[in-house]
Amino acid sequence: MIKTIGSILVFVAVYFDLFSYWKQISKTLREKNSAEVSFSAYIMKILHYLCSTISLAIFANWVGFGMEFAAFIVCLITLAIVAHYKPKGWKLFGK
């Protein structure tokens, strides 16, 4: 049962990874400015790393776990920096 959960988390992680790229591409095409960073794309990446680290722990792949955990921490730091420099009054959901 636990390996089934691990397998599902692998597929969910891939989904979040692909969705994060889609969010960034769609925002760049909509804004016509590649300087814009999609905040929600980073949230998708964080969810990807979270699912990956859990699934790698389930399968006891400690090298992969360490790599994904490090990326998770760096992504959290990046998200905090991006959020800090968003304009005043900016909201993630809503206009």
Contact indicator for 54, 82 with CB cutoff of 8 Å: no
Count of the separate structural domains present in the chain: 1
Residue 39: its pLDDT value, please? 80
Q: How far apart are CA 85 and CA 72, in angstroms?
A: 20
Q: Which domain holds residue 19?
A: 2-84
Residue 72 lies in a domain: yes
* Mean pLDDT value across residues 24-32: 75
Residue 91 lies in a domain: no
How does DSSP assign 35-58, residue by residue? T---HHHHHHHHHHHHHHHHHHHH
**Per-residue pLDDT at 42 exceeds 90:** no
Q: How far apart are CA 18 and CA 93, in angstroms?
A: 20
Residue 79 lies in a domain: yes
Contact indicator for 13, 54 with CB cutoff of 8 Å: no
Residue 59 lies in a domain: yes
**Per-residue pLDDT at 28 exceeds 80:** no
Q: What is the pLDDT of residues 45-88, one digit of tens each?
A: 899 899 999 999 999 999 989 988 988 998 888 888 777 777 77
